[in-house]
Amino acid sequence: MSLNLDAFVSVPVSNELYAEFARRFPGGVSSVLEQVAQDFLDRTAEDFAAREPRAQGIYWEALFLPEGTQIRTKHYGEFKVAEIAGGEIMWEEESYPSMSQLARAMRGDTSNNAWKVLEIKRPSDAKWQPADFLRR
């Protein structure tokens, strides 16, 4: 059996530490060190996740809209465009607490189903998509 040396990295440890591992585990120093490292990663996963920067954006029910997402509607032949910025829904320099309130404001304070009247274009999208299509 030949080892693929490209599948390993070399991590320097002191001679004393390696010698103690070799004395206690003569048949597999590297496998013990790998198990210890994996155990450490498993035990600290939640701590790391808490420090990891989260993606900026908002959730509209189960739909995540990342920072830079544009939201538009057409009202009396004119497109009105809002954007997700700083974790908020922004339109005409005002923040809106919900998509339904945004749709209402963009469409002349009329009652609307935001899922039906809004289109979404996330930073990764090539084209606008109906909000109702994205919620499925």
pLDDT digits (tens, 9 = 90+) for 48-66: 655 555 678 999 998 999 9
pTM for the full model?
A: 0.60
pLDDT tens per residue across span 111-129: 999 999 999 999 999 999 9
- Beta-bridge partners for 57: 66
Task: For residue 130, list its beta bridge partners.
Answer: 119
Name the average pLDDT for the chain.
86
Confidence check: pLDDT of 88 > 80: yes
Evaluate if residue 103 carries a pLDDT over 70.
yes
| Chain centroid to CA 58 | 11
Strand-pairing partners, residue 72, are 81, 119
pLDDT average, residue stretch 72-101: 95
Give the domain ranges of the chain: 5-51, 57-134
